[in-house]
Structure 1
Amino acid sequence: MQWRPEDFSLRYQLLFPLYAQLPPALGYRLAAQQAEVFKQRKQDEAATIRTQMQLALPEASAVQLDGWIDDYYRMVEQEALDTWYLQHQPVKQIVELQGFEAVEQARKQGKRVLLTGGHFGRFWMAGAAMRARGFTTGTITRDGGATNSHGLHPAEYRYRLFKLQRLQQALGGPFLVEGDELRPLYRALNDHLIALIFDVPYTEAHKGRVTVNFISGTIDLPAGIYRIAKKTRALIAPFFMRDLGEGRVMAEFSAVLDPYDYDETALMGLLAQQLEQRIRENPGHWWLWPALPLLRSNNNESGNSQPTFG
Structure 2
Amino acid sequence: MAAERMINEWRLRFAFPALSRMPTTLPWHLASVIGRDPSSARRLTEQFLVARFEQVFPESTAVAHRQWARAHLAMLAQEIMDASALHRLGQPNGPAIEVTGWEHVDALIRRKQGFILVLNHFDRLLTSAVALALRGLSLNTLTMPILENPGLGVVQRDFLIRKVRSFTQIARGQWRTSTEGMRPVYESLRAGQAWGILADAWAPGFTRLRSHPFLGGQLHLPTGIERLAESAKVPLLHAVTYSERPDRLRVVVETLPENPRQAIDAVIQRLEQDVRERPWAWWHWGQWEQMWTPSASEATHDQY
Range class of TM-score, shorter chain:
0.7 to 0.9
- Shift in alpha-carbon separation, 1:224–1:297, aligned structure 2, 3 A: farther
1:27 alignment partner in structure 2? 27
Instruction: Provide the residue aligned with 1:125 in structure 2.
Output: 127
**2:17 corresponds to:** 17
The answer for the alignment partner of 1:278 in structure 2 is: 274
Alpha-carbon shift at residue 103 of structure 1 (Å) = 1.6
Task: Indicate the residue corresponding to 2:136 in structure 1.
Answer: 134
Distance 1:181 1:21 in 2: 38
Which region of structure 1 is more displaced relative to structure 2, 48-57 or 279-288? 48-57
Query: Deviation string for 1:209-262 (max 9, x for gaps)?
Result: 3222101211222322112112111111111111021322121112233126xx
Matched residue, 1:203: 204
In structure 1, what is the equivalent of residue 110 of structure 2?
A: 108
Task: Find the aligned partners of 1:172 and 1:96 in 2 and give their Cα distance.
Answer: 21
* Aligned-partner Cα distance in 2 for 1:158–1:110: 35
Distance 1:232 1:39, change over 3 A: farther
CA deviation after TM superposition for structure 1 residue 298, in Å: 5.4
Q: Give the Cα separation in 2 of the matches to 1:57 and 1:134.
A: 40
**What stretches of structure 2 of length at least 5 have no aligned partner?**
none
Measured at CA, do residues 297 and 267 of structure 1 come closer, stay the same or move farther in structure 2, by a change above 3 Å?
farther
Give the SS at the match of 1:150.
coil
Structure 2 CA distance for partners of 1:63 and 1:256, relative to 1, 3 Å: same
Cα distance, 1:204 vs structure 2: 2.4
Partner of 2:221: 221
SS in 2 for 1:202: coil
Deviations 1:59-86 (A, max 9, x none): 1211101111111111111111112322
Equivalent residues of 1:24, 1:89 under 8 A apart: no
1:27: Cα distance to partner?
1.2
Question: In the TM superposition, what are the counterparts of 1:152-301 in structure 2 within 5 Å?
Answer: 152-189=152-189, 190-207=191-208, 209-259=209-259, 264=261, 266-297=262-293
Distance 2:254 2:214 in 1: 18
Does the CA-based 8 Å contact 2:8-2:38 persist in structure 1?
A: no
1:278 to 1:8, Cα distance in 2 relative to 1, 3 A: closer
The count of aligned residue pairs is 296
Aligned-pair distance for 1:180? 2.3
> How does 1:31-70 map onto structure 2 within 5 Å?
31-35=31-35, 38=38, 40-70=40-70
Calculate percent identity across the aligned residue pairs: 20
Query: How far has the Cα of 1:199 moved from its partner?
Result: 3.7
Secondary structure of 1:106 counterpart = helix
Q: Please identify, of 120-129 and 42-51, the stretch whose mean Cα deviation from structure 2 is larger.
A: 42-51
Could you state the TM-score of these two structures normalised by the residue count of structure 2?
Answer: 0.86
How far did 1:129 drift?
A: 1.5
> Are residues 246 and 8 of structure 1, via their aligned partners in 2, closer, same or farther at CA, if it must alter by over 3 Å?
closer
Q: Taking CA–CA contacts closer than 8 Å with sequence separation of 6 or more, which of the two structures ends up with the larger relative contact order? A: 1
Deviations 1:154-209 (A, max 9, x none): 322221222222222222211112132222102332353211103443222513x3
| CA distance in structure 1 between the partners assigned to 2:125 and 2:8 by the alignment | 27
Rounded to whole Å, the distance in 2 between the matches of 1:122 and 1:139 is 16
Residues 106 and 238 of structure 1: is their aligned pair in 2 closer, same or farther, counting only changes over 3 Å? same
Question: In 2 relative to 1, CA 179–89 (structure 1 residues): closer, same or farther, beyond 3 Å?
Answer: closer
